[in-house]
Amino acid sequence: MRVLIISVFLGTIFFTGQFLLSVNLPLGLIMSSKIQSHEEKKVFSSWNPLIPQVGGVSTSNFSLSARSALSYELTDEKMVFAKNINEKLPMASLTKIMTAYLALEEGIDKRYRVSSSAALIGENVMGLSEGEILTLEELLYGLMLPSGNDAAEVIAEGSPYGRDGFVEEMNKRAKQLGLGNTHFTNPSGLEGDGDQVTTVVDLLKLTKTALENKNFLKVVSTYEKELPNNNEHKYYRLFNDTNLLTSYPGVKGVKTGFTWEAGLCLVTYLEHNGHKIIAVILNSQNRRQEMKDLLDYTLIELGETPPKHE
C-alpha cells in the first residue's frame, strides 16, 4: 500500500511538471510568483508607548506654554513628561513626517518632475521650478530642512496614487500604524483644506516608526545640504535652522511646524548617554527654548546631567 501511494505521488509530480512545461510555465516561476505576491503584502505593526493610566505623569515642578507636549524615553519605554497628550490639535508641517515616511516606500532614487501647480504652492518652499526633475532623496532634503511645501506637492503628485490618492494613503497608513486621532487633508500641512489634526502621542508613534528608516534619519539629522546643479535642476543650498541640531548636543532632528492655527510646533529626537528620547511640542509660544527646557527636564528626571547648550 505504501509503495502504491509513493508511486501515485511521484506520478502526480511528473505529470504536473510536464503540463507546466507544455504551457511554458516552469514550476520555479510559479513558486517565485507566489513568493513575490506574498512579499508585496506590506505588514504594518502599530507600536504603543507605555502611558500611565492612573494619575498620568507628574509635572508639578515643570510647565510649558505649549498647549500639548510630551517626552518619551525609548530605551526603557518611559513617559517622562505629559501635558494634554490626547488633545487633537492642528499639526502644521509636522504633516511632512508622514509625507516623507510614505514616499520612502517608493525608493530613494525615484525621479519626480515639478509641475506648475507645485512650483507655485507658496509659503515655505524649497524653491523648485516647473519642469525640473529631482530624485526623492533630493526632494526629501527640501521637504524636511526648509519645510518645502513645493517638495511635498511634487512628491504627492508623482506618487502611484496621484495627489489625492496620496493623501488617502496617508490616512490609511495612519490607521495601520495605530494613529487613531490623526487625520490628513494635504501632504504639506498648509491650512485651508479642512481639519488636519493629530495628538502628541500619535506624533510620537509616527516619529519612532519613521526613524527606523535609515534614509529618513539621515535626512532629518542634516543641518545643511547642497544639491549641485545638473542638466535636470538648478543648484540648491538648504538649511535646517530650527531643530536644535547645532545648539543642543545629541539632537538628531526631526521636524518643525507653524501655521497661525497650529502655533509653533516641534518634534525632536535626542540621543544622550544611551538614552533615545522623542519630545513633541504643539502650539508653543517659544518652541526652541521650550524644547531645550523639556529635554533638560527629561534628562534630569532620568538621572542624567544635560549637555551644555546654547
Domains and CATH numbers, the chain: 68-301 (3.40.710.10)
> How far apart, in Å, do the first and last CA atoms of the chain sit?
84
37 tagged catalytic: no
One of 68, 71, 93, 284 is an active-site residue; which one?
93
* pLDDT of res. 310: 85
221 tagged catalytic: no
C-alpha cell at 80: 517622562
* pLDDT of res. 55: 41
One of 71, 115, 147, 284 is an active-site residue; which one?
147
* pLDDT of res. 8: 40
* pLDDT of res. 191: 84
* pLDDT of res. 52: 58
* pLDDT of res. 148: 95
214 tagged catalytic: no
pLDDT under 70: residue ranges of the chain: 1-47, 50-60
Read off the pTM.
0.83
* pLDDT of res. 250: 97
DSSP output for 140-186: HHHHHSS--HHHHHHHHHTSTTHHHHHHHHHHHHHHHTT-TT-B-SS
Angle at 214 between CA 173 and CA 85, to 5 degrees: 50
Separation between Cα atoms, residue 83 and residue 75, nearest integer Å? 21
One of 78, 83, 96, 225 is an active-site residue; which one?
96
* pLDDT of res. 192: 76
DSSP output for 188-205: S--SSSS--EE-HHHHHH
* pLDDT of res. 23: 38
Separation between Cα atoms, residue 17 and residue 305, nearest integer Å? 69
